[in-house]
Structures are given as C-alpha cells and as structure tokens.
Structure 1
Amino acid sequence: MGIGMGLSMTPATGAITGSLPREQQGVASALNDVTREFGTALGVALLGALLSAGYRGATDDRLHDISGPLADTAREGIANAVEVAGSTGTHAPDLIHAARQSFVDGWQQAMWAGVAVMGALSAYITLRGIGGSTTDLGDELS
C-alpha cells in the first residue's frame, strides 16, 4: 500500500498543482490535501462500520450457547469478548474463539467492500481517462 501511495500521490499532486498558474497552486495543493484527508476519514469510518456490523452478525451466529448480559457485552467488540470470557466459566475458550473468528469475518467483509470500491474507481478512471480533468479544476478555482 505504501509503494502504491508513494508512486501515485506525488505525481497526482504535481499534476494538480502544475496544471494551474503559480498564484493558484497553493489553493490547489490545499484542496488536494483536504480531499485526501476527507477520503481517508470517510473510508476508515465506512470500513470500520462494516467491520463492526460483520463482527456483530458473526457473533450472533456463534454465541448461541452463551446468553444474557455477558453475550451482549461480547457482541459489542472483540476486546469486550476477551474481557468477559473469564466470567463465562467453561465457555471461555469457545467465546474467545468465536470472537476471534467473528472479527476475521467482519474484517474480510470490510476489506472486500474496499476492494469493490477501489475496483469501481479504477474502472471509472480507466474508462473516463485522466486527461482533461485538470483544466476543469483551474476553471473552478478562477
């Protein structure tokens, strides 16, 4: 991921700022930074929500032997599940295993959603092409 970002971010920033007159390059650079930061925050929030929903859904399927407030606490997150495992007696190893597997399931769900979004964006960029879009930015900043 670092190699990909390193190879794409610097040329993209250079293309954005280089397409504008010198007096507007600061604004273009700031706009580039804001969109990158906003996209990162939005991506983390959406993928985190998918991970959490996937975890909860998977724990519902796996925690059928444990009920009550301990199971409810375990469904809130993997850290909570590990914390309450000691209070479940003989079910502790099963609870920890279920929480770990549920976390992996939620993680996979979130990562596949990320792959789908990146695939769609890659297809859009490939079909639309990159050329011509930087002049629109210069027109909007004028």
Structure 2
Amino acid sequence: MAGVGILCVAMLCRAKWWGAPRRLRLHDVAGAVTTAKAQQGVTSSMDDTAREVGSAAGIALMGSIAGNHYRSALPDYVAQLPTEAAESVRHSAAAGLQVADQLGAPGAVLANGVKSAFTPVDRRPTPPDATRG
C-alpha cells in the first residue's frame, strides 16, 4: 500500500509543478504561429509530444527501479550458480525461471527465489481465523 501512496504524491507533485510551466511553453510556441487554427494544431501536437516524452521517461525510470529491486531482492545463493547462469538470472525473471527449469528438482528453490524477487507482494498464506471453530 505504501507504493500507492508514493505514486499519488509523485503524481500530485507532477501536476503542481509541471502544469503551469508547460502551459507557458505551449503558449509561447503557439504565439509564434499567426492563425488561430494553426495555433490550435501546434498547441495540440506540442501537448501530445510532451505527454509522450514524459510517459516514455516515466516508463524507463520505473523499469530501472523495478529491475534494480529485482536484482537486489534475489537470494544470495544465485552467486553460487555458474557465472553464465547467474548472469541470466540477474538479467530477467524469465531467464531466471528458465535456468531454474534446466536445473531440474533443485531448481524449484531458485524458481521460488526468482518469483519472490520479481513480485514483492507478500504471498504467504493467511492463517485461518482463530475465531472459527
């Protein structure tokens, strides 16, 4: 739930400090165009471009954060794997699961570690309700 709070704060900050300067920049760009219809098109395309660049930067940032979290949450025994296998596990969860599959029965422990690192949600079963008999 803390991640949702951080996301909300980030979105609020973006809306507060990004919106006003963006409107001023769009106004400056559109002011250079002489006809109203052309201004409307320029403003719309600049707004779309700014949104797409911002989205791409946000996706790249979140991907970097998620990748860093995945690598740091991997179990310590990944370092005991052969170098190529360890690098594959660190590279992506899909590669980690493939390495675990190739290991056979001992790979089940690795697969659980990779899944746990990739999905930080607590997946332990909830204890039965003590009030029910």
- TM-score normalised by the chain length of structure 2: 0.57
Secondary structure in 2 matching 1:90: coil
- Relative contact order: is structure 1 or structure 2 higher (C-alpha 8 Å, sep ≥ 6)? 1
Question: 1:53 deviation in Å?
Answer: 0.8
Structure 2, gaps ≥5 residues long: 1-18, 31-35, 122-133
Q: Which ranges of 4 or more aligned residues in structure 1 deviate by more than 4 Å?
A: none
Identity of aligned residues (%): 28
Say what the alpha-carbon RMSD is for the aligned residues. Answer: 2.5
> Highest CA radius of gyration, 1 or 2?
2
Contact 1:63 1:95 in 2 (8 A): no
Q: Distance in 1 between matches of 2:57 and 2:43?
A: 21
- Distance in 2 of aligned mates of 1:89 and 1:30: 54
Equivalences, count: 88
Distance 2:60 2:114 in 1: 21
- In structure 2, the residue matched to 1:30 is 45
1:44 maps to amino acid: I
Residue by residue, what CA displacement relative to the aligned partner does 1:36-58 show, whole Å, maximum 9, x if unpaired? 11011111111001111111111
TM-score, normalised via structure 1 length: 0.54
Q: Which one-letter code corresponds to 1:93 in the other structure?
A: A
